[in-house]
């Protein structure tokens, strides 16, 4: 009987601990993503370049990242040092991805398809600059190749929509 009481007491303490953990003051974590924003449009032959924005909310703070993905027949091998260069009108924005935020993959069934992905920390001001530009040239630098693509109307629309819904207006 003593054992049963200890088991019940232990289980109820564990349950209370679990319940406390669920309702405790854990910070909120939410990610808002733009996806499938193919710079200059999707290209089946040779390859497609995506430039998307992600906003991560943790408690009361927000951080932004630009997500680049290259999928194509040619190898780029995105590097970590200043490997994303964006010309937004006359302003040049250069980004570096931490090595842990770069992924390389390939699949060679009939032919090889390369898949490079990288996350670049960015500021809200940089995201707004891209969205407000009239002309945007995206340049991704790898150890094997450099890819350049220009924004089309849909790319501008997607950035402007993301900023309108998810980026606080500048305080200046």
Question: DSSP per residue over 9-45, as a string?
Answer: HHHHHHHHHHHHHHHS-PPPEEEEE----BTTS--SS
- pLDDT for 44 beyond 80: no
| Residue 28: per-residue pLDDT | 83
Identify the residue with better confidence: 10 or 124: 124
pTM recorded for the entire structure:
0.80
Beta bridge partners of 19: none
pLDDT digits (tens, 9 = 90+) for 69-78: 999 999 999 9
Q: How many CB atoms lie within 10 A of CB 138?
A: 24
Kindly list the distances between the CA atom of residue 35 and the CA atoms of 39, 62, 92, 113, 133, in Å, as whole numbers in the listed order.
11, 19, 23, 20, 20
Residue 22 has pLDDT above 80, yes or no: no
Q: Rounded to an integer, what distance in angstroms lies between the CA atom of residue 137 and that of residue 130?
A: 10
**Residue 111, number of CB atoms within 10 A of its CB:** 7
Question: What is Dmax (Cα atoms) for the chain?
Answer: 80
Structure tokens at 106: 């390939």
- The tally of CA atoms less than 13 A away on the side-chain side of residue 72 is 21
pLDDT digits (tens, 9 = 90+) for 133-163: 999 999 999 999 999 999 999 999 999 999 9
Averaged pLDDT, 118-123: 97
- CB burial of 39-78 (b: ≥16 within 10 Å; e: otherwise) equals bbeeeeeebbbbbbbbbeeeeeeeebbbbbbbbbeebbbb
Cβ atoms of residues 80 and 62 within 8 Å: no
| Mean pLDDT of all residues in 34-55 | 91
Mean pLDDT over residues 84-99, rounded?
97
């Amino acid at each position: 009987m003593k054992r049963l009481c200890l088991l019940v007491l232990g289980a109820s303490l564990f349950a209370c601990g679990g319940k406390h953990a669920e309702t405790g003051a854990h910070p909120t974590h939410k990610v808002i993503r733009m996806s499938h924003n193919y710079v200059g449009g999707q290209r089946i032959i040779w390859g497609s370049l995506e430039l998307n924005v992600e906003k991560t909310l943790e408690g009361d703070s927000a951080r932004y990242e630009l997500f680049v993905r290259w999928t194509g027949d040619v190898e780029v091998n995105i590097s970590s040092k200043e490997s994303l260069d964006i010309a937004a009108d006359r302003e040049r924005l250069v980004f570096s991805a931490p090595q842990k935020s770069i992924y390389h993959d390939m699949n060679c069934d009939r032919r090889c398809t390369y898949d490079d992905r990288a996350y670049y920390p960015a500021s809200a001001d940089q995201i707004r600059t891209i969205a407000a530009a009239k002309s945007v040239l995206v340049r991704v630098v790898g150890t094997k190749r450099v890819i350049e693509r220009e924004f089309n109307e849909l790319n501008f629309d997607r950035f402007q929509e993301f900023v309108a819904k998810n980026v606080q207006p500048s305080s200046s």
